[in-house]
Amino acid sequence: MIILLLLLLLLLLIIIIIIIIIIIIIIIIIMVILVDSEH
């Protein structure tokens, strides 16, 4: 049971990290688009 809980926690961590990375990438893309449109 403990191993299962640890695996679930690890999976949650990985998912959260992936979501954060995706959000950062989207923000960077938006910034680039904004900067491009200003010029």
pLDDT of residue 1: 82
Domain hosting residue 31, numbered range: 1-39
pLDDT in tens, 1-39: 899 999 999 999 999 999 999 999 999 999 999 998 877
pLDDT of residue 39: 72
pLDDT of residue 12: 98
Distance of CA 18 to the CA centre of its chain: 4
Nearest to 5 by CA among 13, 38, 25, 29: 13
Q: What angle do CA 31, 33, 39 make, to 5 degrees?
A: 105
